[in-house]
C-alpha cells in the first residue's frame, strides 16, 4: 500500500483526526517531578516514567512530536492526508498532580499555547480545553473561557481524577456546564487508579494495550448507568478506541442492568428513562483511535448509527499512515465514508 495520501478532499471527503495529543514542557516536567518524588500513582509512574525518560526510538519520537504544534505536526498530517486535527493536552493532562494551584496554572497556560497554535493554523488545528477536575468550579470557568475566548470545540478529561469519576456529585458542575454550553466531553484514557490497577503493571497491561480501555469504559458505563444522561439529555460524550469497547458489550450491559434494577440489587442503580442502547445512539460518539480495522468500524456503525462514528489517528502515539489507506478502502457507501472522516466531526465539534 503505497498510494500517496493527499489532503484536500479528492476522495470526496476531508479527513479529520479527532484524538490528537500535544504536551507542554511544564506539564511533562511537573508529572516527572511527581514520578521522581514517588508521589505519582502507579499508572502515571508507568506511563510517564517510560515516555518521559526512556531513550528508545519510540519515546524520543513521541516526546519531540508531543511538544510540537508547528511544522513537524503539519508535515505529518500532510503525509498522512489528514486535513484537520482536533487537539488535546496529552493524558493524564494535569489530573495526576496534587498541587491544585500548579495544576490549574499548567492547564490554563496549555490552553493559551494551544489557542495560539490554532490561530496560526486556523484551517488545520482545532482545540479542546484542558481542565483541572480537582477544582470543578475553576474548571467551569476555564471551559467558558475555552469556548468563548479561545475558540475551542470541546473538553478532554483524561478519565479518573485520583480515582474519582465524573458521575460523582462533586463533578456535577462540569457536566452541567458541558450540557448548558453545548461543549462535547471527550473522556480520554489514562492508567487505572491505584485501587484498580492490581497486577496490571507487572503483567505489562495497564497502558494503552488494555488498562486504558478497561478503566475508561468503566468510567463511561458509570455515567450511563447512574442516569447522567437523564439529568442532562443534551450532554454529548465522545470516547476513543472504538467507544472503549462499549458497543460490543451493549446487549450484556443492557440485560444485566435491567435484571439488577428489577431486583433492586444495588441502591445506586435506578430505572432509567431509556434503555442503554438509547444513550449510545443519542449521547455518545465513538472514534476509531487505535482501531483501524473496518470490522471494528462497521460494528460501531451498526450499534451506534452512521452519524456518531468518527475518525481519529492518535498522533503521535499511533501514527501509521497505512491505517488511513486501509480505512480509505473500506467498502462503505460514499456518504457514510464522508460522515466517518469528515461531517460527523464537523457536527459534533462545530468545526
Ligand atoms: C498511549 C496511547 C499514550 C494513547 C497516550 O497518552 C494515548 C500509549 C499518554 O501508547 O502509551 O493517548 N492512546 O490514546 O492510545
Ligand atoms: Mn489518545
Domain boundaries of the chain, sorted by first residue: 16-349
Per-residue pLDDT at 1: 56
The predicted-structure confidence for 123-159, as pLDDT tens digits, reads as follows 999 999 999 999 999 999 999 999 999 999 999 999 9
151-178 mean pLDDT: 98
Q: What whole-number distance in Å separates Cα of residue 45 and Cα of residue 33?
A: 10
Ligand 1 atom with minimal separation from the 19 CA:
14
**Confidence class of residue 3 from pLDDT cuts 50, 70 and 90?**
confident
The predicted-structure confidence for 183-209, as pLDDT tens digits, reads as follows 999 999 999 999 999 999 999 999 999
CA dihedral 133, 138, 140, 143 (to 10 degrees): -90
Taking all residues of the chain, what is their mean pLDDT, rounded to a whole number?
A: 98
Question: Helices 246-262 and 294-304, interaxial angle, to 10°?
Answer: 40
Half-sphere exposure in the Cβ direction for 262 (13 Å, CA): 6
238-266 mean pLDDT: 98
Beta bridge partners of 164: 161
Q: Which grid cell is 273?
A: 428513562
The predicted-structure confidence for 214-233, as pLDDT tens digits, reads as follows 999 999 999 999 999 999 99
Provide the CATH number for the domain formed by 16-349 in this structure: 3.20.20.140
**Confidence class of residue 61 from pLDDT cuts 50, 70 and 90?**
very high
Ligand nearest to the backbone CA of 50? 1
The predicted-structure confidence for 71-120, as pLDDT tens digits, reads as follows 999 999 999 999 999 999 999 999 999 999 999 999 999 999 999 999 99
Whether the pLDDT of residue 235 is over 80: the answer is yes
Per-residue pLDDT at 161: 98
Beta bridge partners of 124: none
Expressed in angstroms and rounded, the spacing between residue 208 Cα and the centre of ligand 1 is 5
Q: What whole-number distance in Å separates Cα of residue 127 and Cα of residue 88?
A: 6
| Pair 52, 31: CB distance under 8 Å | yes
Q: Where are the alpha helices (DSSP H) in the chain?
A: 25-36, 42-51, 57-67, 71-80, 100-120, 136-148, 172-181, 194-197, 211-225, 228-231, 240-244, 246-262, 276-282, 294-304, 321-328, 334-338, 344-349
Ligand 1 pocket mutation pick from 208, 215, 319 by most atoms within 8 angstroms of CB: 208
327-333 mean pLDDT: 97
Per-residue pLDDT at 131: 99
Q: What whole-number distance in Å separates Cα of residue 23 and Cα of residue 19?
A: 13
276-293 mean pLDDT: 97
Ligand 1 pocket mutation pick from 47, 50, 212, 323 by most atoms within 8 angstroms of CB: 212
Per-residue pLDDT at 160: 98
- The pocket around ligand 1, CB under 6 angstroms, is made up of 21, 47, 90-91, 189, 207-208, 240, 289-290, 314, 317
Give the residue carrying C-alpha cell 490554532: 118
Amino acid at each position: 500500500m503505497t498510494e500517496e495520501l493527499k489532503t484536500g478532499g479528492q476522495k470526496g471527503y476531508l479527513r479529520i483526526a479527532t484524538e490528537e495529543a500535544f504536551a507542554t514542557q511544564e506539564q511533562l516536567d511537573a508529572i516527572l517531578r511527581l514520578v521522581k518524588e514517588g508521589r505519582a500513582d502507579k499508572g502515571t509512574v508507568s506511563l510517564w516514567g517510560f515516555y518521559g525518560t526512556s531513550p528508545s526510538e519510540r519515546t524520543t519520537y513521541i516526546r519531540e512530536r508531543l511538544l510540537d504544534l508547528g511544522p513537524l505536526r503539519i508535515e505529518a498530517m500532510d503525509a498522512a492526508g489528514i486535513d484537520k486535527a482536533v487537539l488535546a493536552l496529552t493524558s493524564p493532562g494535569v489530573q495526576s498532580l496534587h498541587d491544585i494551584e500548579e495544576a490549574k496554572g499548567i492547564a490554563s497556560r496549555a490552553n493559551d499555547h494551544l489557542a495560539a497554535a490554532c490561530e496560526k493554523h486556523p484551517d488545520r488545528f482545532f482545540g479542546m480545553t484542558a481542565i483541572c477536575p480537582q477544582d470543578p468550579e475553576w474548571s467551569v470557568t476555564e471551559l467558558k473561557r475555552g469556548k468563548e475566548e479561545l475558540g475551542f470545540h470541546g473538553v478532554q478529561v483524561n478519565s479518573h481524577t485520583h480515582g474519582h469519576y465524573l458521575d460523582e456529585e462533586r463533578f456535577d458542575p462540569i457536566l452541567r456546564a458541558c450540557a448548558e454550553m453545548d461543549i462535547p466531553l471527550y473522556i480520554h484514557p489514562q492508567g487505572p487508579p491505584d485501587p484498580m490497577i492490581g497486577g496490571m503493571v507487572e503483567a505489562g497491561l495497564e497502558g494503552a494495550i488494555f488498562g486504558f480501555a478497561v478503566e475508561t469504559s468503566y468510567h463511561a458505563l458509570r455515567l450511563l448507568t447512574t442516569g447522567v444522561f437523564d439529568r442532562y439529555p443534551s450532554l454529548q460524550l465522545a470516547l476513543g478506541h472504538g467507544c472503549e469497547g462499549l458497543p460490543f458489550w451493549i446487549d450484556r450491559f443492557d440485560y444485566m442492568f435491567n435484571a439488577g434494577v428489577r431486583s433492586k440489587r444495588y441502591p445506586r442503580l435506578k430505572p432509567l428513562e431509556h434503555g442503554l442502547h438509547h444513550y449510545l445512539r443519542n449521547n455518545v460518539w465513538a472514534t476509531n483511535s487505535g482501531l483501524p480495522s473496518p470490522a471494528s468500524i462497521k460494528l460501531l456503525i451498526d450499534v451506534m448509527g452512521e452519524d456518531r462514528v468518527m475518525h481519529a489517528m492518535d498522533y503521535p502515539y499511533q501514527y501509521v499512515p497505512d491505517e488511513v489507506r486501509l480505512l480509505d478502502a473500506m467498502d462503505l457507501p460514499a456518504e457514510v465514508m464522508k460522515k466517518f472522516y469528515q461531517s460527523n466531526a464537523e457536527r459534533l465539534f462545530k468545526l
